[in-house]
A and B are shown apart, each in its own frame.
Chain A
Amino acid sequence: MVEKRTLAIIILATLTWALIATGSTTYYYLEQAKYQEQLNEKQNLLNQLKENYNSHATKKNLISGDYGALLGEYQWFTEENYSPLMSKYEQLLSNLKGNYTQILNAFPELNETYGNLLNRVQTLKNENVTREEFGSLLNDFYKLFTALTIKESEEFLGKTFLIHVNLCIDYGNGTVNWYNNTEVALGTTLFNLTTKIAKADYSYWPTMEPGHILIDSINNYTSGYWIWYYWDESTNEWVFGPVGCDAWILKDNGTYKWTCTS
């Protein structure tokens, strides 16, 4: 009788152990499979990052070479009228558009800079172009080119890395809306974040640098000027935005604020 009882208990204990062991093994296997999948996903992202980087470097080197050649011609040009170089400049601008169409379409502020540059070229095309005017065109081209290359690299890094930020919109009439822990891609500007979260109307100021955008209204609220601030963690206070919102790159866990002041 005792033996039977002992046997029954041993069977129960074994069954308990078997069930727990099976469950643990399955759990371990599923966790391993999950980690492996995550690892593969990360590896794919890194491979994609490498491919994007190669394409980015090729484009950048190509346009840099063309720009360098035109800059060299400009520096050695001895005539007073620089209009013979305008067709090469136009070609360079066209190449820029061809290589960075996606970025220009994605970022209206850069597209506007490009449009302004193209308009200036069209205006100067049939006129006498001075050295200063052509030099200014070259200078503006280089700034746009640099901005586009930075934006492109941020774009493909943003596909791999995400950051979280907080945005406050203070309408100045007592209504304050917080958008906490918003997930955005690395390299996102405050302007991109604002247009992502709210409906924002803006104006483009070519002479303002860095950043050409001023916000006119957020969610159709126009009773004043929209000014932005960022939260300085070292001093624990809001700091007035020192540049245009389209030139301010967001930091991970950064906190930003739009305030409407009359």
Chain B
Amino acid sequence: MLVFIPKFYIWVDNPSINMQTTLRNPRRTALLSVLAALCLGIQLAPRPPNVEFTSLFTFVIGFVFGVSTGVLFGSFIMFINGFFSPWGFSGLNMPFQIAGIALIGLVGGLYKKYLQGYSSAEFVVEVAVLGAFLTVVYDLITNLGVAIQFTIAGTPFTWATISALAYGTPFSVIHVVSNSAVFGAAFFPLTKALDHAIMVENLG
């Protein structure tokens, strides 16, 4: 099993740009810092509930810089967001938010293998659908976190899960609609912009 882990890591990570090479390159580190600051700025600014750009940024970072960087980027943003979010301290839900966003970063990294010609507008619908699906999965994970909080407070787990998922649905709808629009509209322009940036090499 332990022997399998490095192989899996190599498989999931971008073969050309892995985490180590990303962070060894000061230009890439600077670019990632700027993107993290931008993403945090948007994430922590007052905004309508569940309308966010962190998922897109994490997905794009995963896509451009590889799985590890995407996972770490999303986890870092969610960790900071857990303390300073305009909606209050995340508390027990924070690990679930981190897990959800890490999954988006992971899928972003894996998606590059399956997207031929990333600049093509033909895949706008595909990216929008993928964004919507990832958002639903993210919401399922975070609602599970809410259900666990309810369970700790004394509600039976089954009822806590059903009510957390059901009462989270209106917010989930906003999240899915906004994220599919954001993914569909901004994924390719953002990837293209990063591609043109001088510090990103060997992309695609």
Q: Do A and B bind each other?
A: yes
Q: Are B133 and A20 in contact (CB under 8 A)?
A: no
Residues of A within 8 A of B169 (CB): 20, 23-24, 26-27
- In the complex, are the beta carbons of B172 and A23 less than 8 A apart? yes
Q: Which residue of B lies closest to A18 (CB)?
A: B136
Instruction: Determine the chain B residues whose CB is within 8 A of the CB of A29 once the complex forms.
Output: 166
Q: Are A19 and B140 in contact (CB under 8 A)?
A: yes
* CB-based contact B172/A12 at 8 Å: no
Contact with B along A4-29 (1 / 0, CB 8 A): 01000100110110011001101101
Interface residues of chain A: helix, strand, loop or mixed (majority): helix
| B133 contacts A26, C-beta separation under 8 Å | no
CB distance from B72 to the nearest CB of A (A): 25
Flag whether B121 is at the interface (Cβ < 8 A).
no
B135 to chain A, nearest CB (A): 8
Does B168 reach chain A (CB closer than 8 Å)?
Answer: yes
Inter-chain contact count A-B, CB under 8 Å? 47
Binary interface profile of B, 143-179, with partner A (CB < 8 Å = 1, else 0)? Answer: 0000000000000000000110111111011001000
Are A9 and B126 in contact, CB atoms less than 8 angstroms apart? yes
Query: In the complex the two chains form, is B166's CB within 8 Å of A15's CB?
Result: no
Q: Of the candidates B129, B162, B167, which one forms a contact with A13 in the assembled complex, judged by CB atoms under 8 Å apart?
A: B129
Beyond A27-B169, A30-B167, whether A19 also contacts B136 by CB under 8 A is yes
The answer to whether B166 and A23 have CB atoms under 8 Å apart is yes
A residues in contact with B170, CB < 8 Å: 27
Residue of B nearest to A1 (CB): B116
Cβ distance A136 to chain B, nearest Cβ, rounded Å = 61
Name B169's closest neighbour in chain A (CB-CB). A23
Please list 8 pairs of residues, one from A and one from B, whose beta carbons are closer than 8 Å in the complex, sorted by A's number.
A9-B130, A12-B133, A16-B129, A16-B132, A23-B168, A26-B162, A26-B169, A29-B166
Q: A13-B133, A23-B172 are in contact. List 5 more A-B contacts (CB 8 A).
A: A5-B126, A12-B129, A16-B133, A23-B165, A26-B165
Taking beta carbons and an 8 Å cutoff, which residues of B are in contact with A?
A: 114, 125-126, 129-130, 132-133, 136, 140, 162-163, 165-170, 172-173, 176
6 nearest A-B pairs in the assembled complex, by CB-CB distance: A23-B169, A26-B166, A27-B166, A12-B133, A27-B169, A13-B129
